[in-house]
Amino acid sequence: MDKEWKMDFDIPDIGTLVTLLCTAITSAIMGVGSVVYVVLMMTTAYEVKGKDFLISLMNPEANLTFEADFVLVVGSLLVLSAVFFFITMILSIFELNAVSLKERGGRIKIVLVSFIISLICLVGALLSTVLLRYYYYY
């Protein structure tokens, strides 16, 4: 009789659900933004430099110009960052499903490490942009 006023709500951890959902949405937006920026960069280089520019990107023995170095280095880092952002999004969705079904608590550390790796790749792309610019102009 002493537990007649006890209520047992069968709801999952709301804080973990919100954190994982926000991480999934943010990772999706950042990944798509990175891919769109790479596509924009390649399209602009193609429009300005022509078809020979794209062919020189695929030739490993070609003397690369500043634009080609920029597209290769920054584009590669941005694509790598986008891949890690999409991995983070998928991990977040799987953990979100596990928390909502109460199979286990959310493994936020795995999602956080993946998100940090993708942010490090993104910061590396930004730093390489600045370093390439000052390396070629000074």
> pLDDT tens, position by position, for the chain (138 residues)?
566 676 666 666 788 888 889 999 999 999 999 999 999 988 888 888 777 777 777 776 767 677 777 788 888 899 999 999 999 999 999 988 888 887 776 688 898 999 999 999 999 988 988 888 787 766
Q: What count of other Cβ atoms lies within 10 Å of the Cβ of residue 103?
A: 8
What pTM did the predictor assign? Answer: 0.79
Residues 6+ apart with CB under 8 A from 34: 78, 79, 81, 82, 85, 122
d(CA 85, CA 97): 18
